[in-house]
Amino acid sequence: MMNNNLQFDFIADKEKNTLTVRREFLANRQLVWDCYTKSELLDQWFAPAPLTTKTKSMDFREGGHWHYAMVDPTGTEYWGYTEYLTIHPIDYYTSTDAFSNEAGDINQDMPRAEWRVSFSDKEENAVVETIVTYKSLADMEQVIEMGMEQGMQATLEKLDTLLLTLTGKSNA
Amino acid sequence: MRRDIFQAIADPTRRAIIALIALQAMTPNALAEHFDTTRQAISKHLKILTECEVVKQEHHGREILYQLELNKIKEIDQWLEQFRKIWESRYKQLDQLLLTIKKKK
C-alpha cells in the first residue's frame, strides 16, 4: 500500500484568502509534472472520487487552456475552464480557474481563483506546492459550497471508510 | 446582505474585535478603546457580528458584554476540513496513477 508518511501540508490563510497545499509524491519531478500538464494523465486523477475527469480540449502553453468536466456517478457534468498564464517547465506554472459550460463559456457569476503550482525535488521524490488565491474569503466559501453540492461530502465519508479498510489503519 | 461567519470575518476591524473578545467578554466602550475609530463604528461592527451569530450579548446589570460564540467559529474549520479531504482524495488518486506509470516502465 501507499506510503503514509508523505508530506502533506494544507494551510488556509483566512486573511490573505489563500490556500496552500503542499504534497510529496513517490516519483520524480518530470513524471509528476507530466501528470499535471497532459490531459490523458490529468483525466486519471484530477477529479476527486467518485467524480471522474473528462477533457474536452487542452492546449498547454502560455495563453492556452484546459477545458474539462468533472462527471458524477449519475452522469451529471460540471464544466471547468483553466487558462494558463505562465509556464516554466518543470518548475512551475500559473493559471486562472473558472466554472464554465460545455461550450467553454466562462460563468461570470462564480468566483475565479489564481493558481500557482510549483514543483521541487525532495531527494528522489517530488513536492508540489499549490497556492490558490481567491479574491475574498466569501469566494473561497462559494467554491467549496459548490463542491459540496456536487455530492462530494457524503461520498468522501464513504471514501474515508474505504481507505480505512484498504490501509487497515486510521490516518487521523 | 449575507449574514454568516464569512461576512463576519471579511472585515479587518471585525477580525480584530473577534480576537479581542476571544480573550474575554468586553463592553462596547472597552472594545472601542482598542481602536482608532468612533464608538458608532464599533457598534455597527458589533451589530453585524451579532447578526452573523458570531458574538452574543450578555447583560450584567446596566452593562452589555459581548462574548464569542465558539461554535460559530468552528464552522470555518469544518468546511476547511471538507476542502482538505477533497485534496487528499485527489492526491491519493495521483499516487495511484504515478505507481501505475512507474510499474509500466
- What are B42-76's pLDDT values in tens digits? 999 999 999 988 899 988 888 999 988 877 767 76
The parts of chain A modelled with pLDDT lower than 70 are: 1-4, 144-172
**Assigned fold of A8-165:** Alpha-D-Glucose-1,6-Bisphosphate; Chain A, domain 4 (3.30.530)
* pLDDT score for A149: 52
Q: Which of A1, A5, A25, A131 to mutate to test the interface with B (most CBs of B within 10 A)?
A: A25
| Closest CA of chain A from B86, distance in Å | 6
Which distant-in-sequence residues (6+ apart) come within 8 Å of A66 by Cβ? A39, A42, A55, A57, A58, A59, A60, A80, A81, A82, A84
Q: Which residues of B touch A152 (CB under 8 A)?
A: 82, 86
Q: Retrieve residue B9's grid coordinates.
A: 470575518
Is some CB atom of chain B closer than 8 A to the CB atom of A146?
no
| pLDDT of A147 | 59
C-alpha span between A76 and B84 (Å, rounded): 23
Yes or no, beta carbons of B82 and A148 under 8 Å apart: yes
- ipTM of predicted complex: 0.75
**Angle A48-A94-A111 from CA coordinates, rounded to 5°:** 60
**Distance, CA of A159 to CA of B71 (rounded, Å):** 27
What residues does each domain of chain A span?
8-165
**22-61 of A, contacting B, C-beta below 8 A:** 23, 25-27, 31-32, 35, 41, 44-49
Checking if the pLDDT of B41 tops 80, the result is yes
Q: What's the CATH architecture for B5-104?
A: Orthogonal Bundle (1.10)
What's the pLDDT band for B83 if we cut at 50, 70, 90? confident
Mean of per-residue pLDDT scores for chain B:
85
Q: Which of A1, A137, A166 to mutate to test the interface with B (most CBs of B within 10 A)?
A: A137
pLDDT, tens digit, 9 for 90 and up, residues A157-170: 443 444 444 445 44
- Single-letter amino acid, residue A150: Q
pLDDT of residue A159: 39
Shortest Cα–Cα distance, A106 to chain B (Å): 23
Q: Which of A12, A45, A148 sits opposite B90 (nearest CB)?
A: A45
A18-25 vs A8-13, strand pairing mode: antiparallel
Q: Grid coordinates representing B88?
A: 487528499
Contact check, Cβ <8 Å, B102/A153:
no
- Whether residues A156 and B96 touch (CB distance < 8 A) is answered with no
pLDDT class of B2 with cuts at 50, 70, 90: low
Contact A67, A159 (CB under 8 A): no
